[in-house]
A and B are shown apart, each in its own frame.
Chain A
Amino acid sequence: MVRASWFEIPVTDLDRAVAFYEAVFEVTLERDASEGEEAAYFPAGDGPVGSAGALVKGDSYVPSIDGTRVYLEFADIDGAVERAVAAGGAVLFAPTEVDDTLVAEIRDSEGNRVALRADLEDPEDDLDDELERLLDSDGGDALDS
């Protein structure tokens, strides 16, 4: 049993990477210097779902298109992809529906592959499903009587 409690995206130019991620996700990252490594934290939000993370610059932090992939939750995938391209990134995988999610992959300003994910399930679908169940059970009762 395991969950990822934290993620780090490696950068070679922290200023450039912060500008990129702030543009794509329309957020402000918090800069910090810990353990002699330069870092910028993504806003953690309310939680407690998912994992927060940071951009980190340091000797062992080498950007790559390969390796582990994280899916960052973001409602406006199409907008994020457009902003990523405008900010110096590229589209690696165009927005595509996979099960109940919309996913896409971009290359960030540092050359990392980053996946984006949005939940497509409309809360109203749950209400419709519930209504259908109620109608079905009513129908069953009517047949029985």
Chain B
Amino acid sequence: MARAMWFEIPAADLDRAAAFYEALLGGPLERDVVDGHPAAYLPAPDGEGAAGALMHGDSYVPSPDGTRIYLGVDDVGAAIARAVAAGGSLLYPATRVGDLVVAEVSDSEGNRIALSSPV
């Protein structure tokens, strides 16, 4: 069926990236080493959607391009404010698309990350 079961966000500086996502998501990230790569798991609630991690390693190169994931948040506007305060920047302002509000930010590593919440 080709559903995404896991995602990885590349980090050039894992401490910096973990601090950014801790500020964005409001919770501590658990550190690990996966297949030799330093990792920090984004805490995931039970339910639908893919969980994921920040990863550091040779093949993990941050980019605003490539695959885009939509992280589900309670309030896109508040999440944008936290992202910008934590060193990110706004790439696409909060916009209503159907039943969702979506926006895109650049994270501390330069990845394009989409945010979505119900209207």
Contacts and interface: CB of A to CB of B under 8 A. Distances in A.
Given A5-B49, A25-B2, A68 B9 contact: yes
Contacts of B65: 10, 62-64, 66-67
Interface in B71-90: 71-73
Contacts of A93: 59
A131 interface: no
Contact of B48 (A5, A62, A117): A5
B4 A5 contact: no
Given A2-B43, A66-B61, A67-B10, A53 B49 contact: no
Contacts of B6: 70-71, 115, 117
B44 A51 contact: no
A47 interface: yes
Interface residues of B, number: 49
Given A7-B50, A48-B48, A70 B1 contact: no
A65 B66 contact: yes
B73 A2 contact: yes
B67 A42 contact: no
How many residues of A sit at the interface, in one of the four size bands? 35 or more
A33 interface: no
19 contacts: A4-B51, A5-B70, A5-B71, A8-B70, A43-B1, A46-B1, A50-B49, A51-B49, A53-B4, A65-B61, A69-B60, A70-B6, A71-B5, A71-B8, A72-B2, A72-B4, A74-B2, A112-B66, A112-B67
Interface of A: 1-10, 21, 25, 27, 35, 42-53, 60-74, 92-93, 98, 112-115, 117
